[in-house]
Every structure is written in C-alpha cells, then in structure tokens.
Structure 1
Amino acid sequence: MARGNQRDKAREANLKKLAAQKSGNTKSGSEMAREKEAVAQKMREKQAAADAKRAAEAAAAKK
C-alpha cells in the first residue's frame, strides 16, 4: 500500500502548489490601480444612489 501513500502525498503537494499559484498577484501595478479605481467608482455610484433613496424617504416622511 506504499504506492497509495505516494499518490496521496503527490496529490497534497500538487494542491498546495496550485493554491500558491492562485493566491499570487498576477496583475501589474497599472492594472491593479485601474481595477481599484473602477471598484471605487462603482461604490461611489452605489453610495450616491443610497443617499438619494434616503433623501427621498426623508422627504416623503416629512409630508
């Protein structure tokens, strides 16, 4: 059954190696900055929509 143990050890090592590859950063600095800015813009839009909704609800509550 030693062969089965080798197979299991090799499988574990391969999974560990693949996990390390996935966790690594594959983007350049400018790509990361561009993506970060795009995400920030989406969040600003969501925040503006939430603020507008909150203001509309407050105006409706005053009437």
Structure 2
Amino acid sequence: MTRGDQRERDRQRAQARRPAAKGRDDGLTPEQRRERDAKALQEKAARKAAQAAGGACAKGGKNTGKK
C-alpha cells in the first residue's frame, strides 16, 4: 500500500472528467417528452421527404454527364 491517497485522487479526477448526466433533468413529464420527441421525428421526416422530392439529382452528385 505505497500509493497512499493516489487512488482517491485518481477517482476524483476521473469523476470530474466525466460529463454531467443529462438524463431527465429537462423538467418534462413523460407525456410532454413523448410529444416533443414525436414532433421532432415528424419534422425530420418532413425534411427528408422534401429533400427526396426536390433534390433527386443533387443527392449523389455522381451523374455529371462527363465520360
């Protein structure tokens, strides 16, 4: 046991480096969280559908017409 309090200091340093737990500190109820997540998914799907409908040629960029 020659390390003394080195282990304790290492634990403290490791804990300080760990990111703070984000978890459920947003103050929302589960129902509110579900609504927020559903809205975000709907917006994401709408953006993806708009991109697919409007930018079919611009997606890959491989069809340049050169041979």
TM-score range, shorter chain: 0.3 to 0.5
TM-score (norm 1): 0.47
The answer to which structure has the higher helix fraction is 1
Higher relative contact order (CA 8 A, sep 6+): 2
- TM score, norm. by length of structure 2: 0.45
